[in-house]
Amino acid sequence: MQRLLIKSPVAVAAFWIAVYLAIALLPLFVLLLYPPALTGRGFWTEFSVALGFVGLAMLALQFAITARINRIEASYGVDIILQFHRYISLVAFALILIHPLILFINQPETLKLLNIFEAPWRAKFAVIGTLALIILVVTSIWRQRLNIPYELWRTSHGILAVVAVTLGLAHGLGVSYYLGLFWKHLLWSAIALSALWLLIYVRLVKPWIMTKRPYFVEEVIPQRGNVWTLAIRPKGHKGFRFQPGQFAWITLDISPFRMREHPFSMSSSGDHPERLEFTIKALGDFTQTIKDIKLGTKAYLDGPYGVFTSDRYWDAAGFVLIAGGIGITPMMSMLVTAIERRDDRPYLLIYANKSWEDMTFREELDGLIDSIDLMIIYVLRQPSEDWTGETGYVDKALLQKYIPIHRGSRQYFVCAAPVMMEQVEEALHDLEVPITNIQMEHFNLV
Ligand SMILES: Cc1cc2nc3c(=O)[nH]c(=O)nc-3n(C[C@H](O)[C@H](O)[C@H](O)COP(=O)(O)OP(=O)(O)OC[C@H]3O[C@@H](n4cnc5c(N)ncnc54)[C@H](O)[C@@H]3O)c2cc1C
């Protein structure tokens, strides 16, 4: 079992799902094993309470899901974990809302508990905790529509989550009907303490570890397309090795305790931890400051993360890399690492951009062709009149022209703007590329 868990990614992924289910359903099992003395509360009341308990356990588990635990991230990748986080929080949210709704329908007299001025504390906790949860869900789903800046959203998201879980637990303890027994106290105390520890770990321990492993900015290199490469060197330690295509969270010029970090893929070779390069497009508040960063500026890195890497497919016959705009960064890392490792497998790079002038890494890529079995197809959306290459969008017709006939023999990596990623994914499905051969990296996590 141990060998299987370590060696097979599917087994590791299944293991974590089993752990999740076991913890989420644990309150129910304990409830069944040690039921309170029968008082004839009726099925619907018991059912509603069970939903509340499972919903609360799922909320507490969200702290573990988002704590960037390397072992879990290495099994699924950040995209899937965050998708899971989003969907499972909606399930927990629904369970927590259904819990009082059933009570209100079944015992209408409980409606008066909504009056938080007169209701007992246990009901006050429930109402305020649920309100916090509603605000948390609404601001997460409609953050962009509500124009909430990312940093403000992230801070408030953390605070609302702590408030919702703490008050939920306080509500359960206050009702005490089910939590009166020692075992149940023990279980919920363990769940609450684990969530608290994760919070302390993410907010205090991890940043503290990062302060012990600082980096400094060695070079800022202008690139085509309003893009800058930030070269960073570890100070007093060896840095970290990474698999080409992975990313790290960067904090620049401020303390890591401030939690204002941004994710960027490494664009340099995975085998050179002594100098890490990040190639960054100036798009918003933070990324627009990169060009003005002074040499010697302190940096902190949390990484590496991600499963978008050719290293996971050592048995692939070759690779098809499909990049749009700044989505070229993980591909660049895979290519330069492949050259250093004398990888003789075929690489096809399909790289779309607005114009030839904006084509980040254009010269560098052309310089790689002689060192590796690499074919590059540039695709321009706004070509000049003398452009003789591909134009328009990366669609089924274009892909069909270049991807190998034996589609399942290679691994396909796609990283681009969301619209292009959707179109390419659909086209690859139409072209019967097996779904297990398509790897996607989304740069827009939230
Ligand atoms: C796995 C991954 C790898 C990435 N690699 C690269 C890369 O190699 N090169 C590159 O140029 N960009 C990359 N990005 C995108 C980059 O992280 C965002 O463009 C950047 O964080 C935007 O910050 P801003 O303050 O300049 O933009 P803003 O205008 O403030 O934000 C634009 C959008 O970026 C996202 N964003 C903002 N701040 C953060 C944050 N702290 N954490 C996460 N998302 C945030 C939000 O969706 C926000 O709406 C990557 C993103 C991910 C998830």
pLDDT in tens, the chain (446 residues): 344 444 566 777 788 888 888 888 887 777 776 666 555 667 788 888 889 989 998 998 998 888 887 777 777 778 788 888 999 999 999 999 999 999 999 888 889 988 888 889 989 999 999 999 999 999 999 999 999 998 899 889 999 999 999 999 889 877 766 555 677 777 777 888 888 888 888 889 999 999 999 999 999 999 999 999 999 999 999 999 999 999 999 999 898 888 788 999 999 999 999 999 999 999 988 999 999 999 999 999 998 999 999 999 988 999 999 999 999 999 999 999 999 999 999 999 999 999 999 999 999 999 999 999 999 999 999 999 999 999 999 999 999 999 988 777 899 999 999 999 999 999 999 999 999 999 999 998 66
| Angle (nearest 5°) at CA 263 between 441 and 203 | 130
Please, which residues bridge with residue 390 across strands?
Answer: 379
Question: Is the Cβ–Cβ distance between 169 and 176 less than 8 Å?
Answer: no
Where exactly does CATH 3.40.50.80 map onto the chain? Answer: 310-440
Asked whether the bond before 273 is cis by omega within 30 degrees of 0, the reply is: no
Record: fold of 310-440: Rossmann fold (3.40.50)
Ligand 1 atom nearest residue 287's Cα? 26
Nearest to residue 410, comparing CAs of 392, 441, 433? 433
Taking CA atoms only, the protein residue closest to ligand 1 atom 53 is: 443
Q: How far apart are CA 377 and CA 371, in angstroms?
A: 17
Can you give the pLDDT at residue 1?
Answer: 38
Ligand 1 atom nearest residue 305's Cα? 1
Query: From ligand 1's centre to the CA of 443, what distance in Å?
Result: 7
Query: From ligand 1's centre to the CA of 263, what distance in Å?
Result: 6
Can you give the pLDDT at residue 38?
Answer: 53
Query: From ligand 1's centre to the CA of 312, what distance in Å?
Result: 25
The helix or strand, by DSSP H or E, that contains position 430, with its residue range, turns out to be helix 418-430
Query: From ligand 1's centre to the CA of 251, what distance in Å?
Result: 12
Confirm or reject: Cβ of 281 under 6 Å from ligand 1.
Answer: yes
Residues 6+ apart with CB under 8 A from 257: 203, 204, 207, 208
Can you give the pLDDT at residue 9?
Answer: 65
Question: Is the Cβ–Cβ distance between 347 and 374 less than 8 Å?
Answer: yes
Confirm or reject: Cβ of 285 under 6 Å from ligand 1.
Answer: yes
| Angle (nearest 5°) at CA 252 between 359 and 74 | 75
Confirm or reject: Cβ of 247 under 6 Å from ligand 1.
Answer: yes
Where exactly does CATH 2.40.30.10 map onto the chain? Answer: 215-305
Can you give the pLDDT at residue 288?
Answer: 95
Structure tokens at 299: 């940096």
Phi and psi, residue 383, nearest 5°: -75, 155
Confirm or reject: Cβ of 443 under 6 Å from ligand 1.
Answer: yes
Q: How many Cβ atoms sit within 10 Å of the Cβ of residue 412?
A: 24
Confirm or reject: Cβ of 171 under 6 Å from ligand 1.
Answer: no
Helix axes 78-106, 43-65, angle to 10 degrees: 160
Question: Is the Cβ–Cβ distance between 88 and 57 less than 8 Å?
Answer: no
Can you give the pLDDT at residue 446?
Answer: 62
Question: How many Cα atoms within 13 Å fall on the side-chain side of residue 392?
Answer: 8
Query: From ligand 1's centre to the CA of 444, what distance in Å?
Result: 6
Nearest to residue 154, comparing CAs of 134, 138, 139, 173? 139
Confirm or reject: Cβ of 284 under 6 Å from ligand 1.
Answer: yes
Question: Is the Cβ–Cβ distance between 323 and 402 less than 8 Å?
Answer: no
Confirm or reject: Cβ of 283 under 6 Å from ligand 1.
Answer: yes
Ligand 1 atom nearest residue 143's Cα? 49
Query: From ligand 1's centre to the CA of 98, what distance in Å?
Result: 36
Burial class (CB in 10 A: 0-12, 13-18, 19+), 276: buried
Taking CA atoms only, the protein residue closest to ligand 1 atom 43 is: 262
Confirm or reject: Cβ of 361 under 6 Å from ligand 1.
Answer: no
135-141: long-range contacts at Cβ-Cβ below 8 A with a sequence spacing of 24 or more?
A: 135/160, 136/160, 136/161, 136/164, 137/89, 137/90, 137/93, 140/86, 140/89
Confirm or reject: Cβ of 388 under 6 Å from ligand 1.
Answer: no
- Four-CA torsion 211, 215, 217, 222, nearest 10 degrees: -110
Ligand 1 atom nearest residue 329's Cα? 8
Ligand 1 atom nearest residue 261's Cα? 41
With tokens 């089924």, the residue in question is 396
Query: From ligand 1's centre to the CA of 318, what distance in Å?
Result: 30
The helix or strand, by DSSP H or E, that contains position 322, with its residue range, turns out to be strand 318-324
Query: From ligand 1's centre to the CA of 372, what distance in Å?
Result: 31
Mutate to test the pocket of ligand 1, among 81, 279, 286 (most ligand atoms within 8 A of CB): 286
Helices (H), 116-234: 121-141, 150-175, 182-200, 206-211
Taking CA atoms only, the protein residue closest to ligand 1 atom 7 is: 264
Structure tokens at 343: 């990888």
Question: 215-305 — its CATH code?
Answer: 2.40.30.10
Can you give the pLDDT at residue 22?
Answer: 86
Query: From ligand 1's centre to the CA of 184, what distance in Å?
Result: 42
Taking CA atoms only, the protein residue closest to ligand 1 atom 28 is: 284
